[in-house]
């Protein structure tokens, strides 16, 4: 079976390729904030995701608990995408990215440079600065950014492998606040556009994929759901549904009704 086939065999999707690697699933998931590791493992499995994000942190020297995520996730099964979450300066983000690469899985990094602690919105100046350094250093940079077209274009010019505009702030679950901007970014960029952050439930994921973006990355929507495994399954379906609807091409919006049943043959 062609893994790129959608539910309808008349539609053929293009492969989802990022930085020369091809994936079947357009859903990428995080590994943070799950109530326990077993739930995380089952949710990620149910999501069908192949790319999973991880963070770089100090080892707990007292080892009161085992915090290493690789004790629970098989790095042979999943493509590990390290992030620079929590970094507030370009310098910190570069430092974290280099530590992550040294762990030896791949040269991909999800670059975050946070500019405001309340909204966790990106510092676009620091982001561009870090992106340039990391690209020069051989990284494949997936840049978490806001839904601003000009920043997205500059990140692409800087050599980023993918640009990741937010749907809404990290962990907010507010859904896709600006479909127009995300659609515009997708239309104007050549590199993959993956919406990262803000999706709260399946309809958000579906609506986001309907904009034509290449994929979605989410974490809290699964981890903070009452049943993360069931929500992961719903997200998998929603991403497929939204992608397929995008490929199918929606009907035009009209301000007036158009009857679906014949006007002829009505009784006197």
Partner 1 sequence: MNDTIDITVNGQHRAVSPGVTLLELLASLALDPRAVVVEHNRTIVRRPALGDVRIAPGDAVELVHFVGGG
Q: Which is nearer to partner 1, 154 or 236 (CB)?
A: 236
* 94-102, 198-206, 235-243, 249-257 -> range binding partner 1 (CB under 8 A): 94-102
The dihedrals phi and psi of 157, each to the nearest 5 degrees, come to -60, -35
Least distance (Å) between residue 255 CB and partner 1: 40
Binder of partner 1 out of 219, 228, 229, 241 (CB under 8 A): 219
Which of 198, 220, 228, 241 is close enough to bind partner 1 by CB under 8 A?
A: 220
Is the CB of 84 or the CB of 161 nearer to partner 1?
A: 84
User: How far apart are the C-alpha atoms of 67 and 146, rounded to whole Å?
Assistant: 30
Residue 235 in the binding site for partner 1 (CB under 8 A): no
The Cα 130–Cα 117 span in angstroms is 19
Distance CA 155, CA 146 (A): 11
Sign of CA dihedral 60, 62, 66, 71: positive
Sequence-ordered list of residues with C-beta below 8 angstroms from that of 141, at least 6 positions apart, any chain = 109, 111, 131, 134, 135, 158, 159, 160, 161
Residues 99-158 that bind partner 1 (CB under 8 A): 99-100, 102-103
Residues 52-71 within binding reach of partner 1 (CB under 8 A): 53-59, 61, 63, 67-70
Stretch of 33-41, 126-134, 155-163, 246-254 lying at the interface with partner 1 (CB under 8 A): 33-41
**Smallest separation (angstroms) from partner 1 to the CB of 246:** 24
Q: Among residues 27, 51, 83, 111, which is the contact residue for partner 1, using CB under 8 A?
A: 83
Q: Which two tokens stand for residue 64?
A: 């009161």
Quote the least distance from Cβ 84 to partner 1, whole Å: 10
Which one among 18, 30, 123, 209 touches partner 1, defined by CB under 8 A?
30
CB of 207 to partner 1, least distance (A): 20
Q: How far apart are CA 209 and CA 266, in angstroms?
A: 41
Burial 115-139 (b: 16+ CB within 10 A, else e): beeeebebbbebbbbbbbbbbeeeb
Consecutive H or E run containing 247: helix 228-248
Burial (CB < 10 A; 0-12, 13-18, 19+), residue 181, is: middle
CB of 85 to partner 1, least distance (A): 5
Helix (H) or strand (E) holding 128: helix 124-136
Identity of the residue, 146 or 158, whose beta carbon is nearer to partner 1 in the bound complex: 146
Active-site residue flag, 110: yes
Burial class (CB in 10 A: 0-12, 13-18, 19+), 3: exposed
Instruction: Say which of 33, 76, 110, 132 is annotated catalytic.
Output: 110
Stretch that binds partner 1, among 173-181, 213-221, 226-234, 251-259 (CB under 8 A): 213-221
Interacting residues toward partner 1 by CB under 8 A: 30-34, 40, 53-59, 61, 63, 67-70, 80, 82-83, 85, 95, 98-100, 102-103, 170-171, 197, 217-220
Known catalytic residues are 110
């Amino acid at each position: 079976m062609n893994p790129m086939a959608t539910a309808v065999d008349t539609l053929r999707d293009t492969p989802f390729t990022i930085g020369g690697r091809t994936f079947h699933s357009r859903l990428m998931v995080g590994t943070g904030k799950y109530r326990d590791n077993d739930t995380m493992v089952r949710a990620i499995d149910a999501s069908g995701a192949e790319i999973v994000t991880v963070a770089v942190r100090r080892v707990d020297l007292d080892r009161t608990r085992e915090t290493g995520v690789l004790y629970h996730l098989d790095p042979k099964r999943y493509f590990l995408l390290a992030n620079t979450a929590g970094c507030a300066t370009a310098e910190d983000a570069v430092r974290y990215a280099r530590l992550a690469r040294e762990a030896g899985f791949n040269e991909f990094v999800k670059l975050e440079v946070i500019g405001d602690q309340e909204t966790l919105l990106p510092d676009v100046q620091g982001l561009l600065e870090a992106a340039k350094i990391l690209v020069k250093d051989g990284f494949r940079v997936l840049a978490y950014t806001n839904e601003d077209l000009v920043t997205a274009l500059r990140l692409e010019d800087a050599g980023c492998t993918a640009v990741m505009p937010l749907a809404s702030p990290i962990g907010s679950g507010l859904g896709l606040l600006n479909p127009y901007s995300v659609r515009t970014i997708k239309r104007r960029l050549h590199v993959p556009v993956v919406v990262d952050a803000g999706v709260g439930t399946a309809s958000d994921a579906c609506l986001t994929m309907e904009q034509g973006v290449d994929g979605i990355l989410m974490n809290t929507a699964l981890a903070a759901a009452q049943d993360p495994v069931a929500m992961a399954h719903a997200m998998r379906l929603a991403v497929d549904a939204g992608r397929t609807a995008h490929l199918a091409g929606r009907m035009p919006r009209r301000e007036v009704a158009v009857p679906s049943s014949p006007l002829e043959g009505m009784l006197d």
